[in-house]
Amino acid sequence: MTATRRAVEQLATWPDLTTAPASCGTGSAIFADGREIVHLHTERDADVLLTRPVIARIHDELERSTAFRLHPDSAWATVHLDCDADGDLLVSLVSLCLKADCGPSEPCNMGRIDIIHAA
């Protein structure tokens, strides 16, 4: 089982989370209260909706992960899912998103080339 599939199966057990096609037209999305909070663009890449303050607050911890990617001027963070630890990171970020009440969605990182590696 891939890290992505394991993480998605775990998130599927959480109340009030649903899946549907992503609004960007690529892959699927996980929704909370009608808001897209995760885009699964490929089997190995997921964008998670955070807020810039949340990203700033946890940036130092995320610098330790080679799986985490930031994009300038985006409230979405990209997680590259290669192993179970990366899937655990995705699940943790979804939890942060839900606790932070990330607000309305903005366009995800699909197609952005301005990646800043956190590590």
> What was the pLDDT predicted at 70?
80
pTM of the model: 0.83
- Work out the widest C-alpha separation in the chain, in whole angstroms: 34
Residues 6 or more apart from 118 whose CB is under 8 A from it?
A: 59, 62, 63, 65, 68, 69, 70
Predicted confidence (pLDDT) per residue in 41-69, tens digit: 888 999 999 877 888 888 888 778 888 88
> What was the pLDDT predicted at 105?
64
